[in-house]
A and B are shown apart, each in its own frame.
Chain A
Amino acid sequence: MEAIIIGVLKSAIRLTTPYLYASIGETIGQLSGVLNLGVDGVMLMGAFSAFFTVLKTGNLGLGLLVAIVVGGIFGLLIAFVNVTLKAQQGISGIGFYIFGLGLSSLLFRTMIGTVQTVSGFSPLSIPLLSNIPIVGEIFFRQNILVYGAFALVPISWFILNKTPLGLSIRAVGQHPEAADSLGVNIVRIRYLTVIFGGMLSGIAGASLSIALLNVFQQNLTNGMGFIAVALVYFGAWRPLSVLSGALLFSTVNAIQIWIQVKGINIPSDFTLMLPYIVTIVVLAAMAKRYVRPPKALNKPFERGE
């Protein structure tokens, strides 16, 4: 029993990784007032580009870098459409999702063709800490991207709450008119957060294709990016709460996978449904402690004349 629990928790921690990168990136973007629903598409592009680079060069660091650059480019495009062209953010995001899904599938079909595997990031035991019984096994024998994801939580918390930049980001999302009158460059801040979010989505994708699964196939993410956006609402735009949401979600997911592997007699379709049902139920249950979204979320900024 103990081994099972350790196994489930360990895989839960691993599964948290892509959600954390994507959700933290989305959190920062939304705090500045930009809703990006295209996360899943960007993740797919990140996953593909990282996988392709590693397949051709075998260089994991380079693969990660390429994913970050591709994610950043997508972030730039998303920022252009949402901030400069002031598009309806909900729909433009769906557009970027469909585009990323299509483009990554197209590139996969033309440049790779068949499902192949690469040797991705291997687990990195942290000295001393990894020897702690149970906890060491669960937390400290993971690959470097897992550590990176968890490190991102306090870092983003610090940036958002303790630095002038974080203050500007939140001001732009809460009250752009006031921020504007104080000389904060709203457009620049929003571009910055969305591009950064794109980069993190790229890493999120890479964490799937060159660290957790080590394969790429069409629609590899299967909607993880949307769950990542849900986690932002779940976490009420606070990195720590986003983390707890991601942990809950991936634990449910890990249990679901375990049930399937064990061949327990529940139709797999029901277990696959479980994470989505949990997400909806939890979102509804959280209505009581409802936290207001950033006031300017989903609203393009127009300077009054």
Chain B
Amino acid sequence: MKYRDIREISMNFIPIAAFLLALLIGAIMIAILGISPLIAYQALLKGAFGSMNAIADTVVKATPLLFVGLGICIAFRAGVLNIGGEGQLVVGALSATIICLVFPNLTGWILILIALFFGFLGGAIWAGIAGFLKAYFNVNEILSTIMLNYIAVYGMNYLLRGPIMDPLQVKLGSFIPQTARLSQAVDLPRFIPTRLHLGTIIAIFFAILVYIFLWRTTIGFRIRMIGQNIQASRASGINVQKYMVLAFFLSGALVGLGGAIEVIGVHHRMFTDGSATGFTGSAGFNGIVAALFGQLHPIGTIPASLLLGALLTGANKMQRVVQVPSALIGALNGLIVIFVVGSEYLRRRQTRRVERIMKVEHNSKNKNKKEDK
């Protein structure tokens, strides 16, 4: 194998190396807590892949990450950061829940489609606000999406503690902030006996769709062009503002769809613990990690979200077996983000180096040819 091939292959392993390094630091933290990292990680691995059910749980956990990751891919390719995944998940899930509560008697498939559509629309509008503010009022999208996260959470808390609270909770006087269980007709089909549901397949379908959209359609091309070079796009007559709003809209739509699927595929109701995390499990942030890990490519995001899903599912098990506070996984997640973005530069530099080597080789070949003549 040539030197440059090794280089080229090693490039793709840099994010994985970064991931492993983060796990290593996690191991040190576990050791400091006085627990054997070996036993802890063993529990993690077993929790993620140890049985049929464990694998299904991993896939179920990965599904919202994939939806968020796909949304992030679109936003990123348009050159904007969408950090509002948490809020968009909440709004998407709420929209789907409310529509199911309003029309409990519709036939299953129709209601499922309507619920998915409303999740899609809810997330799209929520992100669209940020896109609109960015395109026409120059409001920094990082800030507006974060503010919208908080607004969504308080809105959710209000609705779940009042207007759409489970009537049973009111009658019992326990006032747990959640809705009634949605009609079983709207439950997404499951692969019994596991918890795996149809949502995962929908997610993979959308991953392919996003790939086709971004790389095989004119609109997708324009969105990517804006992300590459906004001045050139403007000069070539692209309505930058319109496409920026569209990118946000679609980005939020996918996230919102993920939220709706969490409701009708997993929980079958909406609930809150007062923060966003209670419902989303921080998928809005972890999906960013998945997208990054998948090199901001919709197809690459599929295995990336699986990996993270495994980590999260396994961590749950690890927490039960070796009594590690769940906050450790939070810290570990943060480390993974930091290491993966940090390593991105090394990868870029490596890519450049490979290109340079190829150029040199190319030139020397040409030179040889000339000399032959």
- Whether the pair A102, B345 counts as a contact (CB closer than 8 A) is no
Q: How large is the interface on A (under 10, 10 to 19, 20 to 34, 35 or more residues)?
A: 35 or more
Contact pick for A99, options B137, B139, B162, B334, CB 8 Å: B334
- Whether the pair A283, B139 counts as a contact (CB closer than 8 A) is yes
A94 to B342, CA, bound (A): 12
Binary contact track A105-124/B, C-beta < 8 Å → 1, others 0: 11011100000000000000
Which residue of the partner chain A has the closest CB to B129? A280
What's the nearest-Cβ distance from chain B to residue A38, in Å?
9
User: Is B154 part of the binding interface, using a Cβ–Cβ cutoff of 8 Å?
Assistant: yes
User: Which of A80-88, A172-180, A257-265 lies at the binding interface?
Assistant: A80-88
Which residue of the partner chain A has the closest CB to B332? A102
User: Is A37 part of the binding interface, using a Cβ–Cβ cutoff of 8 Å?
Assistant: yes
Binary contact track A277-305/B, C-beta < 8 Å → 1, others 0: 10110011001001000000000100000
What's the nearest-Cβ distance from chain B to residue A58, in Å?
26
A195 to B333, CA, bound (A): 23
Contact pick for B345, options A86, A108, A229, CB 8 Å: A86
Chain A at the B interface: SS class = helix
Task: Decide yes or no: A280 and B154 within 8 Å by CB, A87-B342, A109-B325 being known contacts.
Answer: no
- Whether the pair B338, A95 counts as a contact (CB closer than 8 A) is yes
- Whether the pair B161, A223 counts as a contact (CB closer than 8 A) is no
Name B136-160 residues within 8 Å CB distance of A: 137-140, 142-144, 146-148, 150-151, 154-155, 157-158
User: Is A272 part of the binding interface, using a Cβ–Cβ cutoff of 8 Å?
Assistant: yes
- Whether the pair A101, B334 counts as a contact (CB closer than 8 A) is yes
- Whether the pair B142, A98 counts as a contact (CB closer than 8 A) is no
Chain A hits for B332, CB < 8 A:
102
- Whether the pair B331, A99 counts as a contact (CB closer than 8 A) is yes
What's the nearest-Cβ distance from chain B to residue A292, in Å?
10
Name B111-138 residues within 8 Å CB distance of A: 133, 137-138
Contact pick for B342, options A92, A98, A99, CB 8 Å: A92
- Whether the pair B329, A81 counts as a contact (CB closer than 8 A) is no
A86 to B346, CA, bound (A): 9
A277 to B157, CA, bound (A): 16
- Inter-chain residue pair count (beta carbon < 8 A): 142
User: Is B328 part of the binding interface, using a Cβ–Cβ cutoff of 8 Å?
Assistant: yes
- Whether the pair A87, B341 counts as a contact (CB closer than 8 A) is yes
Q: By CB atoms of chain B within 10 A, which of A90, A94, A218 has the most?
A: A94
User: Is A91 part of the binding interface, using a Cβ–Cβ cutoff of 8 Å?
Assistant: yes
A100 to B338, CA, bound (A): 11
Contact pick for B140, options A87, A94, A108, A283, CB 8 Å: A283
- Whether the pair A81, B154 counts as a contact (CB closer than 8 A) is no
- Whether the pair A81, B338 counts as a contact (CB closer than 8 A) is yes
User: Is A52 part of the binding interface, using a Cβ–Cβ cutoff of 8 Å?
Assistant: no
Q: By CB atoms of chain B within 10 A, which of A86, A102, A105, A226 has the most?
A: A102
Contact pick for B151, options A37, A81, A95, A276, CB 8 Å: A276
A272 to B155, CA, bound (A): 10
A110 to B30, CA, bound (A): 12
Which residue of the partner chain A has the closest CB to B282? A98
A267 to B162, CA, bound (A): 9
Chain B hits for A92, CB < 8 A:
337-338, 341-342
A293 to B14, CA, bound (A): 33
Contact pick for B83, options A41, A90, A269, A276, CB 8 Å: A90
What's the nearest-Cβ distance from chain A to residue B208, in Å?
25
- Whether the pair B334, A267 counts as a contact (CB closer than 8 A) is no
A102 to B343, CA, bound (A): 21
Q: By CB atoms of chain A within 10 A, which of B33, B150, B332 has the most?
A: B150
- Whether the pair A280, B285 counts as a contact (CB closer than 8 A) is no
A103 to B334, CA, bound (A): 9
Binary contact track B210-252/A, C-beta < 8 Å → 1, others 0: 0000000000000000000000000000000000000000000
A96 to B336, CA, bound (A): 10
Which residue of the partner chain B has the closest CB to A103? B331
What's the nearest-Cβ distance from chain B to residue A197, in Å?
17
What's the nearest-Cβ distance from chain B to residue A128, in Å?
41
A97 to B142, CA, bound (A): 14
Task: Decide yes or no: A85 and B342 within 8 Å by CB, A99-B334, A110-B325, A280-B144 being known contacts.
Answer: yes
Chain A hits for B143, CB < 8 A:
226, 229-230, 233, 279, 283
- Whether the pair B331, A280 counts as a contact (CB closer than 8 A) is no
Task: Decide yes or no: A102 and B140 within 8 Å by CB, A87-B344, A91-B341, A269-B161 being known contacts.
Answer: no
- Whether the pair B285, A94 counts as a contact (CB closer than 8 A) is yes
28 residue pairs from A and B, CB less than 8 Å apart: A86-B345, A87-B338, A87-B345, A88-B341, A90-B81, A92-B342, A95-B336, A98-B282, A98-B285, A98-B330, A98-B337, A102-B328, A102-B333, A102-B334, A103-B331, A106-B325, A109-B325, A226-B143, A226-B147, A267-B158, A267-B162, A269-B158, A273-B150, A273-B154, A273-B155, A277-B151, A280-B151, A287-B139
A-B contact sample (15 more), CB < 8 A, given A87-B344, A105-B325, A273-B155: A91-B337, A92-B342, A94-B337, A96-B338, A101-B334, A102-B328, A102-B331, A103-B331, A105-B331, A106-B325, A230-B147, A269-B158, A270-B158, A279-B147, A287-B139
Residues of A within 8 A of B (CB): 37, 41, 81, 85-88, 90-92, 94-103, 105-106, 108-110, 218-219, 223, 226, 229-230, 233, 267, 269-270, 272-273, 276-277, 279-280, 283-284, 287, 290, 300
**Across chains A and B, which 7 residue pairs bring their CB atoms closest together, nearest first?**
A99-B334, A102-B330, A95-B337, A102-B331, A98-B334, A105-B327, A269-B158
